[in-house]
Structure 1
Amino acid sequence: MIGAGDARGELYERARRVGALVARRGGVVICGGLGGVMEAAARGAVESGGVAIGLLPDEDRGRANPYLSYAIPTGMGQARNLAVVCAADAVIAVGGGYGTLSEMGLARKVDRQVVSLGSWDLGEHTLHAASPEEAVEMAFAAARRVP
């Protein structure tokens, strides 16, 4: 799960719903471990009985959002974006700025399907979902094709 580091209102709720839906299907939420969309997705997953893993950009586990099941400090800064997308079978992007755009590009570079839910439009290189339910369905369909 990737997206806006500062998410409120509808954006936060969409990400929270995605996290919950992933958990209910037995998936694990992997994210950057901080706030915004990352926090919302982790919260949704954990509140639904699932697992949320955060790959933190620095060495300070104390910066992790409170909903993570596991917080992994990387000391890699923005380079941890590659670890986030490589650890995923498919990537759902909710909102976001240039950091999210870089993760989307990295995901495609390592052959992970990207589902955009109100995020960047990369044309034929992304699937576009209109709802959290559709985004999760698309991501799980793509993940089944990952060897």
Structure 2
Amino acid sequence: MRVSVVGGGTITDAEYEQARDVGRLLAQRGHTVVCGGRTGVMEAVCRGAREEGGETIGVLPGEDSRAANEYVTTPIATGLGNARNVLVVLNGDAAIAIDGSTGTLSEIAHALDLGRPVAGLGTHDVAGVEAAESAAEAVEYVEASV
């Protein structure tokens, strides 16, 4: 399954490690990570997935695929800016949101509109988002919901 992981581009060390754990678990369970391909949560989840030999897809806002973080295995340049947020969640079967601001909130909304299950780790309190306490809980929720 493909799991979209969305979240802040600027995060704390603890949030980085939590996102990295999500990436590791997703890869260990054979899932592909889809994300925005840049910094923060996106880098951390890709790093964790790559450490376990997993595949990562980065849907980038700009026109240069080289702008992806070093852990993205398949960069997709869109030239769409933040409008690419819908493509991030459209290309996942489920979503996990970690931290984040308005961009993450828009991705959560798009995921819910598309009928994707969404687990949240320290993110927006929105109806339809299943609050999780750990990376394992978030991954287990999306696996059970698809």
Paired residue for 2:129, among 117, 121, 126?
Answer: 126
Shift of 1:8: 3.0
Alignment partners' CA distance in 1, 2:11 and 2:68: 16
**Which ranges in structure 2 are unaligned for 5 or more consecutive residues?**
none
For these two proteins, the number of residue pairs brought into alignment is: 142
3-state DSSP of counterpart to 2:24: helix
Q: CA deviation at 1:138?
A: 0.4
Q: How far does residue 60 in structure 1 lie from its aligned partner after superposition?
A: 1.3
Matched, 1:109 2:113: yes
Distance 1:32 1:46 in 2: 16
Q: Which of 113, 135, 138 is the aligned partner of 2:138?
A: 135
Q: Give CA deviations for 1:54-81 in whole Å, capped at 9, x if unaligned.
A: 0000101221100011111011111111
Cα deviation for residue 141 of structure 1 reads 1.1
* 2:92 corresponds to 1:91: no
Counterpart-to-counterpart distance in 2, 1:106 and 1:129: 20
Using the aligned pairs only, state the percent identity: 48
**CA shift for structure 1 position 142:** 1.5
Q: Which runs of 4+ in 1 moved over 4 A?
A: none
Structure 1: segments with no counterpart, 5+ residues: none
Describe how 1:14-33 pairs up with structure 2 within 5 A: 14-33=18-37
SS of aligned partner of 1:120: coil
